[in-house]
Structure 1
Amino acid sequence: MSSTQQSRHDGPSGHEEDDRPGPTPAPTDARPGLLPAPAPVQLIDPSGAACAETALSRPDHATLARLYRAMAVGRRLDAQITALTRQGRLAVYPSSRGQEACQVGAALALRAQDWLFPTYRDSVAVFTRGVDPHEVLVSFRGDWHCGYDPYEHQVAPQCTPLATNTLHAVGLAHAARLRGQDTVALVLLGDGATSEGDTHEALNFAAVWKAPVVFLVQNNGYAISVPLAKQTAAPSLAHKGIGYGIPSHLVDGNDVAAVYAAVRQAVEHAAAGGGPVLIEARTYRVEAHTNADDATRYRHDDEVAYWLERDPLRRLELFLEHQGHPLDLVQISAEAEEVAASVRARSTGGVAPEPGALFEHVYADPPASLARQRADLQDELQRDEEATA
C-alpha cells in the first residue's frame, strides 16, 4: 500500500482510527480527575470527628456499624491466627493488624458479582468476603496452595509473589468486558508491589483497554524492611496513575469510611465503562512482616506507637458515639470471640498427610515422568507398610 493510501482499523477503544504512515499520537488533553488530592482524604479524623465531605460521601450509620463489626471480627481472627502460628500450628502468617480499614472497607464495597484478588496479607479481606477462615488457613499450614473454591465467593487465591495478582485481575476484568458481563475486579497490592514490572504492565493494559479494574494500594510504609522513601521518588503512589491516564485517589487508609466510599465510587466508575481506577490508602502494618521477621531491626517503637493512636476501630467507634449511634461493643466482642474460638477448635486436630496428593492437580494430563514418580512412591509406601505389618 502506498503512503497516500489509507485503511481503517479498530483501535483498542473499539472505534475506527486512521492507519497513517506515521504513529498516531495519543490524545493530549488532560482529563479531569487524574491527579490525586495533595493530602489523604478523610471522612472521619483520628479523633473520631466528622470531616467535611468532598468528592466522597460518608456511608450511613448502618453501613458504618457493619464495617465496624467486620473490622472487629477480622482483628480478633488475625490475633488468633497469629497465636496459632506462634504455637507451631501454622507454617507462616502475615498479620494485617492495623490495616483492617483497608481490607474491610474494600471488601464490603464490592458487589456480589465482582471479584477480589488478594495478596498473602489480605486474609481479613477474604474473611469479610465470606470465605471460611478455616479454609483460608489451609495454605498457611502448607496443605494446599488454596483451600477454598475461588468461584464460590468470587475470591481469587491469595497471591504470594508480589504484583502477579494485578495481571490476573486485569485478565479477568478484560475477559468479562469482552463477554458483556457486569463484573469489576478489585486487586489489593502493597507499596512494594508498585515497584514490580507486573504492576506497570497491568496498569498500562487496563488503561489502554479500559478494563474494569480497581487497584487498591495499601501503603503500609514498608516493603518488608524497605521504607517507602527508598522505593519511590513520586510525590505519592497515587501519582503513578497519571502516566497511564488512570484516575487516581489518595485516602486515609485508617479511615474505613473513606476507604469504603472511595472503592465503592471506583467500582461504580469501572462498572459504567469508565475504565480502571488507582487508589492509594495510607495505613500501617503494626506487626512484623511475618512471624519470621524482626521488625525492631528497621523501625522504632515510637513509630508504632504513633500509628496505634490512629487505630481504625477506635476512630469509627468514637465517631458513632459522637453521632448518637453507639455500638454494642460487648455483643460485637462476643461474636468475634465466638468466631475465633471456632477457628481455634478446628485448628487443633492434625490432618494426616496423604503423600499421593502431591501429584494431584499438577497437570490436566500428567506426563510419563510424573506418572513414574507417582508409581515409585506408591511402591515405596507399599514396601514400608509390609515391613511394619
Structure 2
Amino acid sequence: MSAGYNGRMIRGPLKFMALGALLLGAANAQPTGEWRLTSITDAGRLISVNAQVAPTLRFDATRVSGLAGCNTYTASYAARADLLTFARVITTKKACPDQVLSLEERYLNVLRGVRRYELRGRTLVLHAGNDRMEFVQGGRVSDVTQTATRYAGAWELAGVNVAGRALNVQGDRPVTLTVEGARLSGNAPCNTYSATFGVVNGAIQVGPVASTRRLCTTDAGNQLETAFLGALRAARAFELRGEQLVVVARDGTTLTFRRASGSGAVTGASLEGGWTLRTVDDRAPQGPRAITLNFEGPQVGGNDGCNAFGGTYRVSGSTLRAAGPLPQTLMACPEPADFPSLTALLRAGATFSVNADVLTLTGQGHTWVFSR
C-alpha cells in the first residue's frame, strides 16, 4: 500500500512537471520566419507604419536580416526564454527619401535596444525599455502600387450577398469605397471607415478597419453595416468583373460595387498602348531611363524617368486627367534641372491630340511630344 501510495506521489509530480515543461516550452517558443512591422512606439509616441515601406525581420539560425525601410540590414541575435537581443547591426547606405529614412532610423534604434519579446499567434512584439515594436507574420507588402491602381477611385455599393441571401443596400446615403494607393476609406451605412490595403505574398490583405462609432437607427442598417465591415476585414480577393468591383470575403460574402457617379474612368481609344517621350518644349529628356506612358483600358502608368507610377484616368473632350492618386515607387533620384513633372501634368490635366503615332500633351505651360 505504501509503495503504491509512494508510486502515485512520484507519478503525480512528474506529470505536473511534464505539463509545466510543455507550457513553458509553448510560452518560450522562439520566433522563426519572416515578420513585417505594423507599428512602433518610440519615446512614448505610437507610429503606425505604411505597409508599402514597412521594415521586415527574418529569423535564421543565428542571424536576422530584412529591409529597414529603404536599406537592407543584418544582425546576430540571441534568444532564451522570453529574452531577445540583437548585436552587430549592419546596414547598406543607400540614399533614401526623408520620410522613409526617418522610419528606418527609428526602427534600427529600437531594434538595437530590444531585450525581450512576446509571441501572440501571428503577432510578434519586441520590447526595448518603454519602446516596443509590433510585427505581423509574413513578408513585406509587395505589388501594392500595381494592384491598387486596378481598383483606384471611388465606388458605390450595389449589392451584398451573405450565404446566398441578398441584403437591401438602399439607405439614407450611399455606401462607398475609395481606393487610394495603400488605403481604403468611405462611408459605411451608418459610419465612416478607413483601412490599409496591400498585397502580402501575392494575396490581398486589408489591414485593421477603423470606423466611427455612431449607432445605426434601424435593424436593417445595423445588419448591413455589420456585414459590410465584416466582409472588408475578411477580404481575400478583389475582382474586376466588367464595370463592377467585387470584394470576396473568406466566408464567401460578396460586396459588389459600381463606379461612383462622376468618377467613371473614360478611356480614349486612340491613346491605347505604350508611348515614349521624345521632347518637352523641343528639348530631349536627359536621364538614366526613358520617360514613358502606357494606357490600357481605364489605367494609365509609366515611368517619370526614375520612378514607376500608375493610376486611372479619364477623358473629357480633348482633356486627359488622372482620375485619382498616382502612386509611385520610392527610388531616390536626382531631379533634372528645370524639367517639368509628368505626374504633376497628369494630375492637373492636359489637352491631348493623337496624330498617327505621335501623342502631344499640352499643359502647365509645356508641350510634351511622345511617339509609339
For the superposition of Structure 1 and Structure 2, which TM-score range results when normalised by the shorter chain? under 0.3
TM-score by length of 2: 0.23
Richer in strand (by share): 2
Q: Which has the larger radius of gyration?
A: 2
Which of the pair has the greater relative contact order for Cα pairs under 8 Å at 6+ separation? 1
